[in-house]
Structure 1
Amino acid sequence: MLVGELVAEGKLSLDAPAPIAEWHRANDPRGAITLRMLLNMSSGLQHTEVGDPVEASDTNQVLFVSGTQKMAARAIGVPLEARPGAKFEYSSLTTIILAEIITRTLTSSSDTRVRAEAYRSFATQRLFGPAGITSAVLEFDGAGTQIGGSLIYMTLDDYGRLGQILLAGKAPDGTQIVSPDWLSFMKTPSPDNPEYGGQLWLNRAGGRDPRPALFPGHGPATLVSCLGHLGQFVIASPDQNLVLVRLGKTQDDTAAFAALRVALGRVVERVPATR
């Protein structure tokens, strides 16, 4: 959503090379990575989201072990494992790169506190404030980069308000927060995974993972969701004028998680369409 604000202002461009200076040195193939590819999780950057054993996960290493002071630098510094735009791979670190792009666009300062405050103020002015969200707490790494892939806290009610924005891009009073064009982009299946849009999961079949992220065939195909760690869902269904928030912990490699997904699909399916 915040990237979309900067695109609307002309400060970022969806199909231009991503403004990461480290990738634009001579003969660096990462210079071909666009902002769209990052948003669609198809940058081609080398990454392991969930390793076996778990400590082999790149995300866990950066969040909790050796990358905590400069998470974006670690995420930016990896080589390619695929041609940019050719392969979908979910990556929490890609969203940290997007948070770093936002920060660099807002300020040229290298001061940790200045960088963090620039991001926090922008999020409050453009997103949280207009939506009536008052409880949001954002975590930052040691360099002042918002940890974009996780570690954002809100009350259940405020997560509901975030979900309401995903219905039509509007605040409760009708104020347009996210433009219709940008919201449409977020909800459009990416070229490399029909189950994923622009940083949103979609209720579509044919995803790259044999286990669906949502519940295709149950509820509208226009339904979208933010998926948190271990069973957190913010579900938005415009056709039903429905927002459903589930906060809790369910191990995602268990039968209980599969049952949770089925149960959420049944709840959504029973809500009538409003059109």
Structure 2
Amino acid sequence: HFFEEDVFELFDTEHNRTITWDHLLRQTSDWEGSLWGKPDWADRPSEGVAKKRARPQNAPGSVYEYNDTRVNVLALALLNIWRKPLPTVLKEKIMDPIGASDTWRWTGYENSFVIIDGQIIQSVSGGSHWGGGMMLSAWDQARFGYLTLRNGSWNGKQLIAPEWIKKSKTPTPANPSYGFMNYFLNEDLKQVPAAPKSAFLHIGAGTNMIYVDPENDLLIVARWIPNEDKAELVKMVLESLDK
């Protein structure tokens, strides 16, 4: 049920102790447990809830599954490293330097609070279908897209290490169309068949898409479009470019 006791020793089971940051970032951890009242099996398991609850956990790294509970685990683990709210870190390190607006928000759930060093801090959530998540304007999406288009550099200042961008764009063995968190890759030409293999996308629920294409020096932000239409939209834009 949804009211199982939450796991705050996030990695104290035999399975969870084998999980790495890489597994969490690539959505291949198959982390087991419950966090903020949301069990790992509750988030859209492809095999159905009954089979998901009955099967053994997959070895970390072997199977890809987009799962908000496990994204929330990553957020809480990162919070324990930074020891201050992740939205504050994002604002200081990325959003302010790229000139983002002051309208974006990144929130957690009503019950996702912890005490760290005597301070009550909300642990943010990754997805929004349970509430929380990140909300931002097309303006802010575009500026973030320009940051990754420019390989993590903004006005001559390296905000994200090129090595991190490279890792983020390295295909996940269990799902070659996915890199690190929210890097949807096109190396197998499945995301956007008409686009270069080097193109990639940041995609949020909606579909809210940031298409990044270094080869064509192109950035597209599209909001609230049917997911199945994103490839056709990019194809039409690419066909309109001067060759």
TM-score, normalised by the number of residues in structure 2: 0.75
CA spacing shift, 1:156–1:40, aligned 2, 3 Å: same
Match of 2:73 in 1: 97
1:138 paired residue among 91, 106, 110: 106
- Give the strand-richer structure, 1 or 2: 2
1:266, distance to aligned residue in structure 2 (A): 3.0
From the superposition, tell whether residues 157 and 47 of structure 1 become closer, same or farther in structure 2 (CA, over 3 Å): same
The equivalent residue for 2:169 is: 187
Following superposition, the deviation at residue 101 of structure 1 comes to: 1.5
Give the aligned partner of residue 37 of structure 2. none
Does residue 1:50 correspond to 2:20, yes or no? no
Q: Is the 8 A contact 2:176 2:188 kept in 1?
A: yes
AA partner of residue 23 (structure 1)? F
Structure 2 contact 201–209 (Cα < 8 Å) conserved? yes
Contact map agreement 1:24 1:31 (CA 8 A) in 2: yes
Q: Does 1:129 align with 2:123?
A: no
Q: Give distance in 2, aligned partners of 1:47 and 1:166.
A: 33
Deviation sequence 1:26-61 (CA, Å, 0-9, x none): xx2210010001111111235464369x9x7xxxxx
- Distance in 2 (CA, whole Å) between partners of 1:269 and 1:192 is 32
Q: Distance in 2 between matches of 1:272 and 1:196?
A: 30
1:80 CA displacement: 5.9
Q: Matches of residues 130-209 of structure 1 in structure 2 within 5 Å?
A: 130-134=97-101, 135-141=103-109, 142=111, 143=113, 144-150=122-128, 151-167=133-149, 168-171=151-154, 173-199=155-181, 200-205=183-188
1:34 aligns with 2:37: no
Q: Does 1:265 align with 2:235?
A: yes
The answer (yes or no) to whether the contact 2:10–2:73 under 8 Å persists in 1 is: no
Q: Distance in 2 between matches of 1:201 and 1:178?
A: 18
Which is worse superposed, 230-239 or 34-43? 230-239
Structure 2, unmatched stretches of 5+, are: 1-7, 32-39, 50-54, 114-121
C-alpha separation between the residues in 2 aligned to 1:159 and 1:99? Answer: 20
Percent sequence identity over aligned pairs: 21
Contact 2:142 2:219 in 1 (8 A): yes
Q: Which of 194, 200, 224 pairs up with 2:200?
A: 224
Gaps of 5+ in 1: 1-19, 57-78, 108-114, 207-211, 251-256
Letter in structure 2 aligned against 1:204: E
SS at match of 1:131: coil
What amino acid maps onto 1:139 in structure 2? T
Question: Relative to structure 1, is the Cα distance of residues 239 and 47 closer, same or farther in structure 2, using a 3 angstrom cutoff?
Answer: farther
Question: Are positions 1:87 and 2:57 aligned together?
Answer: no
Q: Which stretch shows the higher mean deviation, 131-140 or 220-229?
A: 131-140
Instruction: Tell me the alpha carbon deviations over residues 88-124 of structure 1, each in whole angstroms, 9 at most, x when there is no partner.
Output: 11222222222112211122xxxxxxx5xx3222111
Give the counterpart letter for 1:175 in structure 2: K
* 1:231–1:249 Cα contact (<8 Å) kept: yes
Aligned equivalents of 2:203, 2:10: Cα separation in 1: 30
Structure 1 distance, partners of 2:229, 2:219, is 20
Paired with 1:271 and 1:42, the residues of 2 have a C-alpha distance of: 37
**How far apart are the structure 2 equivalents of 1:92 and 1:152?**
13
Name the count of aligned residue pairs. Answer: 205
1:242 to 2:242 alignment? no
Distance 2:79 2:95 in 1: 17
